[in-house]
A and B are shown apart, each in its own frame.
Chain A
Amino acid sequence: MKTKNQELTAQEKFVRRHKRHRKQITSCRFLLLVFFLVFWEISADTGLIDSFFFSSPSRVVMLFMEMCMDYTIFFHIGITLWETVISFLLVFLISLLTATLLWYSSRLSEVLEPYLVILNSLPKSALAPLFIVWLGTGTTTIIVAGISVALFGSIISFYSGFKQCDREKITLIYTLGGNNRDAFHKVVLPSSIPVLLSTTKVNIGLSLVGVIIGEFLAARRGLGYLIIYGSQVFQLNLVITSVILLCIIAMGLYKGTQLIERKIKKHMNL
């Protein structure tokens, strides 16, 4: 048996210190949440804040349980998730295809550059009413809204990722007798994977934003609809419950993409 502290090597001490630090950070995070919830609950119960407007943790939990009983909450969460995932996948596909096309044709990318910049900086919520007129109210409109928020930034990021590829590595492909296609498949695409993955992580969040905007305006179901409906009938418990669920969903989606990112990076040894 080792006597405490005396026989620890410097490395062991470092690892211990590191672990203690991680634990402290985690417990601080947890405490902050608990403190916030307790403070919120007490303020609502003692009338410091009006629980009609600000709700309270217990009311949120009650409502959530109630909606779990009749499965309505699962239905709304499912719809929002489904729409987000679909628009996220479409954003990935469309921007990969477009960026590839732009890489192949520098003429096309020169022509389209100002349009992409304008479309990217345009607030996409301004387009939502147009989508409703053009596509009606329903899933299509919401998915298109989800796509519109993430798409143009994603195309620009993918394309600039492709462009950052080392010129000499591309030259190498040409010296080995390869053409543009080989350069793209053997060098440009594999070396851009880190950029593709980090853009993807941003895209999943943006798709969610777009879907919620869409649901605000053009839905009879989904969390965005619950928020708008709740605010219109002054049922703020419903609004706050939905917002909290959205927080959890956003975190889940981010963690999910992060997990996939790590797996791919490990697999490709990047």
Chain B
Amino acid sequence: MTEKVQNIIELNNIGYSYHSLHGETTALKNISFGVKTGEFLAIVGPSGCGKSTLLSIIAGLLQPETGTIVVNNPDGSLHYPRIGYMLQHDHLFEWRTIYQNAILGLEINHMLTKDRLEHVNRLFHDYDLDKFKDKRPSELSGGMKQRAALIRTLAMDPQLLLMDEPFSALDYQTRLMVSADICKLIRAAGKTMIIITHDLSEAISLADRVLILSGRPATVKKELSIHLSLPDDSPLAARNAPEFPNYFSQLWEELISEN
């Protein structure tokens, strides 16, 4: 019971199917799990198993066919948690400056208030992007673009961050650096996060808990809590932790048995 109260959001028996004239494809079946406030949850699974569909449902972009989503706000209110969604690509618009891109969400929601803009400016300062405010996205490196996209997401002050393979468009080296960097910033901001990835090392090194989904129709196959003893917080530290290989092989076994 005490654990349940901590869950910022809880999914109960979520199911979803895609329909076409050729028939019905069940993407998700009986998915149930919760996310605690401040927790980093990684979801891994075979490609095409419906991970993105699941995130879209949590984000409210799709309505689940079956099941319910329960929200537990600390103050007891019933509003859906404010959600920030980061997609596979940064999708910064070339016709806007970095700053104009960052305030896009505020602009859409008519929230260009003094407080919010100050918050954005502080993020720009904290993320070392001050000098790039008036630049165009194409003038920034991949890592800087991800940071700018993160500012755009955080500007709305979301309680829950959803990330759909947000680093998959980056090359491997950049990806190692940027994923550690971005997750550190999100932890510092005290946010809850659900991240989808197909990179097992990334899941283990970034998350507190890993959820393994089965192939289509996706169900929750296994949950794995991650506890690493870390000497420092460099991107490679987690991958060098003594527990890492063990977690990796456990996840690997689960995914392999799927095929």
- Residues of chain A whose beta carbon lies under 8 Å from any beta carbon of chain B: 166, 168-169, 171-178, 182, 186-187, 190-191, 193, 268-270
Chain B 73-91: CB-based contact to A (< 8 A → 1; otherwise 0):
0000000000111011101
Q: How many residues of B contact A (CB 8 A)?
A: 20
Question: Are A168 and B94 interface neighbours, CB within 8 A?
Answer: no
Could you jot down 29 A-B contacts, CB within 8 Å? Answer: A166-B91, A168-B88, A168-B91, A169-B93, A171-B87, A172-B85, A172-B87, A172-B91, A173-B108, A174-B61, A175-B59, A175-B85, A175-B87, A176-B104, A176-B109, A176-B156, A177-B108, A177-B109, A177-B156, A182-B108, A186-B104, A186-B107, A186-B108, A191-B93, A193-B95, A269-B94, A269-B136, A270-B94, A270-B95
Report how far A237 CA is from B94 CA in the complex, Å: 53
In the assembled complex, the CB of A270 is this many whole angstroms from the nearest CB of chain B, namely: 7
Question: Are A190 and B105 interface neighbours, CB within 8 A?
Answer: no
Report how far A187 CA is from B107 CA in the complex, Å: 13
Question: Are A175 and B89 interface neighbours, CB within 8 A?
Answer: no
A-B contact count (CB 8 A): 50
Question: Are B93 and A190 interface neighbours, CB within 8 A?
Answer: yes
Question: Are B89 and A168 interface neighbours, CB within 8 A?
Answer: yes
Chain B 195-215: CB-based contact to A (< 8 A → 1; otherwise 0):
000000000000000000000
Question: Are A269 and B108 interface neighbours, CB within 8 A?
Answer: no
- CB closest residue in chain A, given B84: A175
- CB closest residue in chain A, given B137: A269
Report how far A193 CA is from B96 CA in the complex, Å: 14
Question: Are B108 and A168 interface neighbours, CB within 8 A?
Answer: no
Within B131-147, which residues are at the interface with A (CB < 8 Å)?
136
- Give me 12 other A-B pairs in contact (C-beta within 8 A), A168-B88, A171-B87 excluded: A168-B89, A172-B87, A176-B85, A176-B108, A177-B108, A178-B108, A190-B95, A191-B93, A193-B95, A269-B94, A269-B95, A269-B136
Report how far A191 CA is from B91 CA in the complex, Å: 12
- CB closest residue in chain A, given B152: A176
In the assembled complex, the CB of B166 is this many whole angstroms from the nearest CB of chain A, namely: 12
Report how far A268 CA is from B108 CA in the complex, Å: 20
